[in-house]
Structure 1
């Protein structure tokens, strides 16, 4: 059986996808104790470490065939903005160097690195790429909308395929039929509140009015930001990107509610039995940062088929 390690493991999107693809995840790490706690709960057979991977002792990490990594994306994402000289963003971007350190020590056959497409705009990306290549790896970038892999969510992400091959390995990722948001939304559950109530923002009321005009009495809409513009979207298509905050609202007649944590996890393709914190905010944070397990599974399966 193929073995793997999972860097910046979070709630375990890569690990769940790997397991579904028949890969055994031997070791997983994250710097946040809450993430390690819940990754451990869902993957009890995996060895866990809670640490800053800049200080990782790679000799203590088991040998593996495949390295999986999702370095922090906040310093690259347009959604959070990025300013030169921002120490927080500089620190988050630098997490990608842990991938190089791990590759240098263990030299696995392959690695898969997931991030936002803006990762390649990072000023140090050419240096990072040169370091990976100096270790004997070819790098094949794939920009993928996870909806095309069967995830019920439009989520455009970069998957870098690193292989010890003579040429970059471009994967054959078959486009799947899009899965509608209706597959996981429950309009008969949740805590609803009147749309027309004191304090409701004018921008929200405008989105509701425009959404009703286009989609009728039931639809989803972005509660903040540009999202799907001012009109929201119908439930017969995938939802927009799940973020770490409460972004999506459901409208039902004269009522509305925010997307539940369970619905957010379902939109990410985590199974219903996934163990998670009781706190909505913590679950949304981890869900928004995760690799959709189904997307991870499809990419891993394509890599194994091509190897």
Structure 2
């Protein structure tokens, strides 16, 4: 099965597609740093750095499967989703590139990944009807990466659009949960004392609450709700990896942020997947990525149902 990857980012969708037996012939993103990272790991794929709302689809190779992860920031609760915010309006509009590409190429299958709130977008009904007008039946699936062997709770919406009479509802085996302890390396990283000058009172309070709840070793996100108040056990999957450093590792009287390599593992990328040298850039593109094992399982389920 030949596939293309729109808004390809770090390459999670492409990596999962390859795991699922596809050949990804073309991938594009508007950000050169993401394209460079993708090309480093998928050198056999044709790459384009461009605004996909201005793409010349005639230049894109023929394909059976269109993969797309339009910009999620305008839909995500974590980013505010402010009505009338021009930046968010522009990010939401990237979803129309999927319709444009599908109209030109009419692949048999289109899979769109986004945050769950994508379906609450005010223009979602019009967007859905546009794909339906092209002959696609849409089947939305809310999938938690933790059910697919990824050591992270990451709920995302996967819309499977097929040129068929009926929507293709997929069935997945639910795998055992993989704990965060599977990727945290206590022998590595830049550790600092927890009680150091300048450490915020809020951080110290959260660490104290985490010790009470989980003991000497645990994870602590820098947010003031949920796990941010209680810490998170290493015996369960981590919460969502985001585009900025979010999770710290607590080990007795020392702490540090997750390394980019630990974030890579938490996303389910292969251990040999190459990342940018700059930590901040690597975390950014990982936080935007599709978890490869989820993409793999979606594609394998599509093949099994076809």
| TM-score class normalised by the smaller sequence | over 0.9
Q: Tell me if 1:79 matches 2:62.
A: no
SS of the equivalent of 1:256 reads strand
Equivalent residue for 2:212? 213
Equivalent residue for 2:203? 204
Q: Tell me if 1:138 matches 2:164.
A: no
Equivalent residue for 1:33? 32
When residues 137 and 225 of structure 1 are mapped into structure 2, their CA distance, relative to the original with a 3 A threshold, is farther
Instruction: Name stretches of at least 5 consecutive residues in structure 2 with no aligned partner.
Output: none
Equivalent residue for 2:181? 182
| Conserved? CA contact 2:180–2:234, under 8 Å | yes
| Conserved? CA contact 2:222–2:228, under 8 Å | no
1:189-238 deviation digits (Å, cap 9, x = unpaired): 11100101111111111111111111110000112343514111111110
| Conserved? CA contact 2:223–2:229, under 8 Å | no
- The size of the alignment, in residue pairs, is 306
Instruction: Please give the TM-score of this superposition, normalised by the length of structure 1.
Output: 0.98
Equivalent residue for 1:245? 244
Equivalent residue for 1:257? 256
| Conserved? CA contact 2:136–2:164, under 8 Å | yes
2 CA distance for matches of 1:156 and 1:228? 16
Equivalent residue for 2:67? 68
Query: What pairs up with 1:1-307 in 2 under 5 angstroms?
Result: 2-307=1-306
Instruction: Please give the TM-score of this superposition, normalised by the length of structure 2.
Output: 0.99
Give the superposition deviation at 1:188: 1.4
| Conserved? CA contact 1:227–1:240, under 8 Å | no
SS of the equivalent of 1:219 reads strand
- Runs of 4+ that moved beyond 6 A: none
Instruction: Name stretches of at least 5 consecutive residues in structure 1 with no aligned partner.
Output: none
When residues 18 and 147 of structure 1 are mapped into structure 2, their CA distance, relative to the original with a 3 A threshold, is same
| Conserved? CA contact 1:54–1:98, under 8 Å | yes
1 CA distance for matches of 2:159 and 2:200? 41
1:120-144 deviation digits (Å, cap 9, x = unpaired): 1111101000100000000000011
When residues 225 and 286 of structure 1 are mapped into structure 2, their CA distance, relative to the original with a 3 A threshold, is farther
| Conserved? CA contact 1:7–1:28, under 8 Å | yes
